[in-house]
Amino acid sequence: MQYASTRGHTASQNFSEILLGGLAPDGGLYLPVSYPQISADELNIWRGLSYAQLAFEVLKKFATDIPEADLKSIVERTYTADVYCNVRKDEEAAQITPLRVLQEDHGGKLILQALSNGPTLAFKDMAMQLLGNLFEYTLARQHAELNIFGATSGDTGSAAEYAMRGKKGIRVFMLSPHRKMSAFQTAQMFSLQDPNIFNIAVEGVFDDCQDMVKAVSNDLEFKQRQKIGTVNSINWARVVAQVVYYIRGYLSATTSNDQKVSFTVPSGNFGNICAGHIARMMGVPIHKLVVATNENDVLDEFFRTGVYRVRKSAETWHTTSPSMDISKASNFERFIFDLLGGDSARVAALFRKVETEGGFDLSGKPGSDGDEFAKVARFGFESGKSVHTDRLQTIRHAEQKYGITIDTHTADGIKVALEHLEAGVPMIVLETALPAKFNETIREALERDAQRPAGFENIEALPQRFVVMPANVDQMKAYIASNTGL
């Protein structure tokens, strides 16, 4: 399987080559030159597989350059009940992403698929844990090492650290705004004592951290010498790892291949739902893919109007579902490539326009950039939006009607899913985090604390390992160099 850029850069690459890189040299995102297909026979056989077995079958279609026996062992080490153990009932651990029916009628069946039973209690573990093992394997084969450098305001940084801790050939340097994360999130990251994990609390806000990552990334000489890489959401292996749970969800919610299901996905950077789109393109009988946004509704606006308009930082709101607080959706270009029928010259022109004019318009209106918005329905996409008061109401509704406590992002998903229910087509909502991570809002909605999974009770009291640094790029570079010895 070969991969090429959405903007047309033609030198195609294999899976291992794009695994450790970020953007393609022309600024585009990598996609396979064609989507591998899943036959009806395969789907039938896959119904009986464990999560790890299924992940192997899916991944081997994409990672054709990794010997099958090696891939199998990587996947089997990744998707184990020991790693995905933060479940509500013990028998659910073996399922990795257990499904729970919330309602059978009232306009349609509603199902919750749990994706947050991994070490950091959010769905990002599903992909990041695999990435950690794939990185370690690939680096060992190349006798290479990698220093991951990134900024986080919460979920991504901790998922990356828990995936890379103790891995040979890998160090993680993670910036976070000093004293700006929740006590729980800070404790989760800073309590890691592994010598290959470096937590750097920057005296500034999240934007200062991101500016420092950009400044370091723009220094190509430093980047090369220090072997700097990233693990952001455009990473192709992360997207592929997520395709697996859409297929698992489909198979668990149906009994035969003539049945369809829909998914609603709490969305920010479009990474999660992009995997649903790919599962659908591979032939999984998915009816609708519903994008749920919070107040930062860039994607809802596009799927309602055909206008993609990225937001300035002053228009990017800090909300109570913070992992969806985005100004632009970094994976969206992959879907636009398919929407435009693979016309990479037009993709390149549209995303240049995003940089120069802040967006593009595919509504087909006079003066717009195209009329492809009319084709969005063919890809199953719909959307909806949820705001703070909706979240509070939905968290209460879930407690009263379904007897469960949900986190704020999942609440955005359920709110929007309820607006898109259809009789005869089960609607699966992807749970993206556990409520313990966002306890402040749980207290506001329910006037009590969210339950913490076993082992997290006293996490704030654990010893913490981090350094505090001013937002100074030279000092940062010196710190990295002194710890890598490169």
Ligand X SMILES: *Cc1c(COP(=O)(O)O)cnc(C)c1O
Q: What are the tokens at 347?
A: 């993709």
- Quick one: which H or E segment has residue 288? strand 286-293
Return the residues of window 245-284 that contact ligand X according to CB under 6 A: 266-272
Return the residues of window 216-235 that contact ligand X according to CB under 6 A: 233
Helix (H, G, I), strand (E, B) or coil at 170: strand
Q: Does 124 bind ligand X (CB under 6 A)?
A: yes
At residue 427, what are phi and psi to the nearest 5 degrees? -110, 120
- Least separation in angstroms between CB 409 and ligand X: 4
* Binding footprint of ligand X, residue count (CB under 6 A): 16
- Least separation in angstroms between CB 172 and ligand X: 18
Residue among 3 and 335 whose Cβ is closer to ligand X: 335
Q: Sheet of 261-266: strands edge to edge?
A: 99-103, 110-114, 427-431, 261-266, 286-293, 381-385
Residue among 118 and 268 whose Cβ is closer to ligand X: 268
The binding track of 136-155 with respect to ligand X, each residue x by CB under 6 A or -, is: -------------------x
Residue among 136 and 412 whose Cβ is closer to ligand X: 412
Cβ contacts of 455 within 8 Å, gap of 6 or more: none
The binding track of 180-219 with respect to ligand X, each residue x by CB under 6 A or -, is: ----------------------------------------
Q: Does 55 bind ligand X (CB under 6 A)?
A: no
Q: Does 122 bind ligand X (CB under 6 A)?
A: yes
- Least separation in angstroms between CB 53 and ligand X: 25
Question: Are 324 and 294 contacting, i.e. CB atoms less than 8 angstroms apart?
Answer: yes
Question: Are 193 and 465 contacting, i.e. CB atoms less than 8 angstroms apart?
Answer: yes
CA atoms of 324 and 327, how far apart (whole Å)? 9
Residue among 3 and 270 whose Cβ is closer to ligand X: 270
The binding track of 309-328 with respect to ligand X, each residue x by CB under 6 A or -, is: --------------xx----
- Least separation in angstroms between CB 324 and ligand X: 5
Q: What are the tokens at 469?
A: 């640094």
Residue among 204 and 268 whose Cβ is closer to ligand X: 268
Is 89 a catalytic site residue?
A: no
Q: Which of 120, 280, 274 is nearest to 189 (CA)?
A: 120
- Least separation in angstroms between CB 421 and ligand X: 21
CA atoms of 434 and 410, how far apart (whole Å)? 9
Query: Among 124, 227, 328, 385, which one carries the catalytic annotation?
Result: 124
- Least separation in angstroms between CB 268 and ligand X: 3
Residue among 266 and 426 whose Cβ is closer to ligand X: 266
The binding track of 345-384 with respect to ligand X, each residue x by CB under 6 A or -, is: ----------------------------------------
Return the residues of window 423-442 that contact ligand X according to CB under 6 A: 432-433
Question: Are 304 and 249 contacting, i.e. CB atoms less than 8 angstroms apart?
Answer: no
Residue type, 347: V
CB 402: neighbour CB atoms within 10 A?
A: 16
Residue among 54 and 324 whose Cβ is closer to ligand X: 324
Q: Does 409 bind ligand X (CB under 6 A)?
A: yes
Query: What's CA 106's distance to the chain center, in Å?
Result: 31
- Least separation in angstroms between CB 266 and ligand X: 5
Residues in the chain: 486
CA atoms of 121 and 405, how far apart (whole Å)? 14
Q: In whole angstroms, how far apart are CA 116 and each of 58, 159, 309, 363, 435?
A: 21, 11, 31, 36, 10
Q: Which of 20, 228, 19, 238 is nearest to 129 (CA)?
A: 238
Binding positions for ligand X, rule: CB under 6 A: 122, 124, 155, 233, 266-272, 323-324, 409, 432-433
Q: Which residues are catalytic?
A: 124
